[in-house]
Amino acid sequence: MKVETYKIIGWKEKETGLLISENEDWILVKHIPVDYVIDGYKLYNKSVIEKRKSKAKEEKISRVLKLKNTQITVPDTFKLDSVFETLKWSEKKYGLFEFQDKEAELFYGKLNHIKSDMFYIDLITSNGTIKKEYDYNFLVYEVAAIAFESDYFESVRLLMNDELKKEGKLSKV
């Protein structure tokens, strides 16, 4: 059970996670936002990681997680893939996706359309409303992290589904 802390280029705060899997492009962790609390999954784009470490602080967290019998599992049907495929997977499984850009700004959304290495989203606000055709494009290489199954992610998902239910547009998510 290995816990690591990541310094991400352009982000003020360091990120900590329980390492689950990695490939040449991505690192998948159970996110540790504070102390010994695990909250969802997070994927980090290796191209934006300035430094990664596992020293005394991370070893202590790992020890506590072992004592708590923390289980490490990969979500059903998940695989380390491209930004587009991961966002599509999250949207199919949960009805939305969450990602952070190189400035650590957080976005919730649904894919509107893809053009080459650029994508447009329908933005989902923190109160669950969907802003169709959000007038901003993202470059695939600006995606620093993708997250899912955190408490906040689930809250936004529930609010979005409630808003869709009110509008009579609830899908099977």
- Identify whether 57 is part of a domain: yes
Q: What was the pLDDT predicted at 91? A: 96
Q: Could you tell me the pTM of the whole model? A: 0.93
Domain with 141, as residue range(s), is 3-167
- Where are the strands (E) in the chain, listed by range? 3-8, 15-22, 26-31, 41-45, 49-53, 97-101, 106-115, 118-124, 130-131, 137-139, 143-148
- Identify whether 29 is part of a domain: yes
- Identify whether 173 is part of a domain: no
Domain count, the chain: 1
- Identify whether 92 is part of a domain: yes
In whole angstroms, what is the distance from residue 89 CA to residue 83 CA? 10
- Identify whether 172 is part of a domain: no
- Identify whether 85 is part of a domain: yes
> pLDDT averaged over consecutive 10-residue blocks of the chain (173 residues)?
96 96 96 95 97 96 96 90 96 96 95 93 94 87 97 96 85 54
